Structure 1
Amino acid sequence: MRVRRPEATDRLGWDRLYAGYAGFYGVTQTPIMRDRVWSWINDPAHETEAFVAEGDSGLVGLAHFRAFARPLSATTGGFLDDLFVSPGARGTGAAEALIHAVAEEGRQRGWSVIRWITAGDNARARKLYDRLARATPWVTYDLTP
C-alpha cells in the first residue's frame, strides 16, 4: 500500500472513489461537484488537500483534509473531511495508512490535533478510529445559513 498526493492521471480513479464515498453516505453528488472538489485539491491556494492510497490494482482509497484554526488553544489543527476505501480493499490497511499520512502531515506542520467525524452507525470504521484516536464528548450541529 502506497499513500501519496494525487496526480493528474488519478482523476478517474479518484472520481470513482469519491462517488463511492458519496454513495456510502447517501449523498447526491454530481460530476460538477466532483469537478469542483478535484480543482480544490489541485489548487495550492485552496485549503483542501488530499492523499490517495494505491494498491496493486490502482487507487483504493482517498483522504481529504485541511487545516483549521483553534482559537481557544491558539493552535492550528487538521480536519479530516473525507476518508474512503473501496469495499474490495477494506481490511488491507489502506484506511489506517491514510490516517497516518494525515497525522504525519500534521506533525510536520505543528498541528495540535487531527479531528474528524463519522456516522454513529459506521461500526467498521469506528473500530479502527477507536484504536487510533480518542472519541470526544462533543455533539455536532449543522445550521443551514
Structure 2
Amino acid sequence: MSQIDIHQVSADDHAAWLPLWHAYLRFYNTELPEAVTQSTWQRLLDTNEPTHSALAWIDGKAVGMVNFIYHRSNWSIENACYLQDLLVTPETRGTGVGRKLIEYVYATAKAHGCCKVHWLTHETNATAIQLYERIAERPGFIQFRKAL
C-alpha cells in the first residue's frame, strides 16, 4: 500500500473534496441543497470560521475526507472539537485511512488548544464503530434532536 498523506483543504481541492462530500451524504441517505454545500465549502476555507477540513491522499488521489469544528464548551475552559463528517472511499476502507484522518484531527485540535475531540456515528455503521472503539471512548450518551 502506498503512503497516506493528510492535508488541510485549500481552494484548489474543491474538485477532490466535492465527490467525497456527496458520497458522505449518500452514505447517510440524505441530500442537501446546493447552497448548503457551497456555504460549507466557503466556511471550510475561511480562516475566521471554526470549521475545517482535511483530505487523505494516496498516489495523488483523494481517498478520504474529514470535516471538523472547534466550539466552546460549558464544561471546560478550552474549546472542544466536533468531528462532524468522516468518509473513506469503499476501496480504501480497512487500510488505515480513517484512523489517519482521525489522528490528524486529534493532533490539529490539540495544537489549537482543544481539550477533546468527539463525534457521532449511526448505530448501523458497524465497520466504523470497530475502528472508533479502538481509538476513542464510548461514553454511552444517547442523542436527541429536533429539527427547527
Q: Who is 1:27 aligned against?
A: 30
After TM superposition, give the deviation of residue 23 of structure 1 in Å.
0.0
Structure-2 residue corresponding to 1:65: 68
2:37 is aligned with 1:15: no
Structure 2 unaligned blocks of 5 or more: none
| Alignment pair present for 1:127 and 2:135 | no
Counterpart Cα distance in 2 of 1:45 and 1:32: 20
- 1:57 Cα deviation after fit: 4.6
- 2:102 aligned to 99, 102, 108, which one? 99
Report the TM-score, using the length of structure 1 for normalisation: 0.94
Q: Which digits, 9 at most, give the CA deviation of each residue in 1:59-86, with x for residues without a partner?
A: 1111111112121233321110000111
Query: Which amino acid is 2:146 matched to?
Result: L
- For 1:65, the aligned partner's letter is F
5+ residue gaps in structure 1? Answer: none
In the alignment, is residue 90 of structure 1 matched against residue 120 of structure 2?
no
Q: Report the CA distance between 1:91 and its aligned residue.
A: 1.6
Question: What is the match of residue 37 of structure 1?
Answer: 40
Report the Cα offset of residue 47 of structure 1: 1.6
Percent identity between the aligned chains? 26
| Distance in 1 of aligned mates of 2:39 and 2:58 | 26
1:37-56 map, 5 Å: 37-56=40-59
Cα deviation for residue 52 of structure 1 reads 0.7
Q: Distance in 1 between matches of 2:48 and 2:79?
A: 17
1:103, distance to aligned residue in structure 2 (A): 0.2
CA RMSD after TM alignment = 1.3
Compute the displacement of 1:110 (Å). Answer: 2.2
> Secondary structure of the equivalent of 1:111?
coil
Per-residue CA shift, 1:28-52, capped at 9, x if unaligned? 1343322111111011111211111
Measured in 2, the distance between the counterparts of 1:134 and 1:40 equals 29
Aligned length in residues: 145
